[in-house]
Amino acid sequence: MAYFRPPGPAPDPQLVREFTQLQDQLRTQVRLEPPSSELRYIAGCDSSFPTPDTVLSVFIVLELPSLGFIEKVYHVGPVPLPYIPGLLSFREAPNLLHAYAKLRRQPDIIMVDGHGIAHPRRMGIAAHLGVELDVPTFGVAKERLTGVYEEPALTKGSITPLTDKNGERLGQVIRSKDKVKPLFVSPGHRCDQATATRLTLACLRGYKLPEPTRLADHWAEEFKKELK
């Protein structure tokens, strides 16, 4: 519900320009072909904020197709930026990279909590992480950032396209559970839409969120409590 946003401090325009440029540079490295290797291990990641200037990031790894649990790691660090729509990756990616480095099992693909190319400049956090790690990634977001779509049918598995104003497909809107708000799935890096959608559906276990992000969400909250 971000219909009304309390008038907060306006983000420094100089800083916004700076990061937008970095984003446009990273964008040139994004590739959207299907993952080349076999997809046996899938990772999920998420971040929570124990304090306004501390970010806690989690990475978990599951085995496919059983969704059996393999491992979970986390890392705590400083928050480099305030939240600015469109620049989320610069706020969370640095710490996520530190968490990723702690994994013993390298995943074949990563399901990221947020958008992939369904972003104003096609560089959502999933694409950003994919490029920096050079690992296949795709995004699963709970809310729309950009693009237009038709509400998918209320039954689980219903899908409609998410497109930009030129009709270009940015992702797919997926009903992951009967009568609950749909998910926004889009490719990140070294991943195509078909793979992103197929894996999202393959990771559903009766909940709205697919297991990788649901568990990452869970542990991000759990570890946060442990700190307090």
The H-or-E segment that residue 170 falls in is strand 169-174
CB neighbour list of residue 15: distance below 8 Å, 6 or more residues apart: 81
Give the integer Cα–Cα distance in Å for 166 and 68.
41
As measured in angstroms, the least distance from the Cβ of 68 to DNA is 25
Q: Note whether 39 and 199 are within 8 A (CB).
A: yes
Q: Of 61 and 216, which has the nearer Cβ to DNA?
A: 216
Q: Is 134 annotated as a binding residue?
A: no
> Using CB under 7 A, which of the segments 32-40, 123-131, 156-164, 194-202 binds DNA?
123-131
Among 27, 31, 98, 144, binds DNA (CB under 7 A): 144
From the number of C-beta atoms within 10 Å of its C-beta (0-12, 13-18, 19+), residue 51 rates as exposed
Tell me if 62 contacts DNA by CB under 7 A. Answer: no
48 binds DNA (CB under 7 A): yes
Within 160-219, which residues bind DNA (CB under 7 A)? 179, 217
Alpha-carbon 28 to chain mean position? 19
Decide if residue 5 touches DNA (CB under 7 A). Answer: yes
- 24 annotated to bind ligand: no
Q: How far is the CB of 4 from DNA (least distance, A)?
A: 8
Q: Rule CB under 7 A: is residue 85 a binding residue for DNA?
A: yes
In whole angstroms, what is the distance from residue 154 CA to residue 170 CA?
21
Check: CB of residue 81 under 8 Å from CB of residue 23.
Answer: no
| Eight-class DSSP state of 21 | H
Q: Out of 62, 87, 191, 215, name the contact with DNA by CB under 7 A.
A: 87
Residue type at 97 in one-letter notation: L
User: 13 or 68: whose CB is closer to DNA?
Assistant: 13
* Bind-site residues: 46, 113
Where along the sequence are the contacts to DNA (CB under 7 A)? 2-3, 5, 46-49, 83, 85-89, 113-115, 119, 124-126, 139, 141-146, 179, 217, 220-221, 224
* Bind-site residues for Mg(2+): 46, 113
